[in-house]
Amino acid sequence: MSEHPAQTPAAQAFVAKFHPDVLEQVRSTVASQAVVVVGMAQNPVVKKARKALDAAQIQYTYLEYGSYMSKWRERLVIKMWSGWPLFPQVFVQGALVGGCDETLKALEDGSFTALLEKGRAERSEP
């Protein structure tokens, strides 16, 4: 998808007030942690992605926002921010990898580890 459409000042004000606390928590966690999984309770696809990361012995921070019947607005603001329509949302070194399928593929082809190591190397450079 391309850039967001232009917004009127009223629309911008509404979006700015739409769960800014949730958005700040996700943004700051993604910026400060190497691997972040954003998900929801009771979702088997989220559990599958987390299980794959556990099996690969990759440490991650998990942020959970409600389940199928709760906190859908909080999850909506995350989707609006990331541009990704589903959960989980997996981030490595601040970059969105995608959901479960994309994470499994990246783990399999080595690109997940490469992205993780590249970020570690960049952080350790003087």
Q: Are strands 61-64 and 35-39 parallel, antiparallel or unpaired?
A: parallel
Strand segments, DSSP code E, in the chain are 35-39, 61-64, 89-92, 95-98
How confident is the prediction for the chain on average, in pLDDT?
Answer: 93
* Domain spanning 9-119: CATH superfamily: Glutaredoxin (3.40.30.10)
pLDDT of 60-72, one tens digit each? 999 999 999 999 9
Question: Which tokens in the block code for residue 50?
Answer: 């987390």
Instruction: Give mean pLDDT, residues 108-117.
Output: 95
Q: Are 8 and 35 contacting, i.e. CB atoms less than 8 angstroms apart?
A: no
Q: Please report the pLDDT score of residue 46 as a whole number.
A: 98
Predicted local confidence at residue 2, as pLDDT: 54
Mean pLDDT for 65-85 is 95
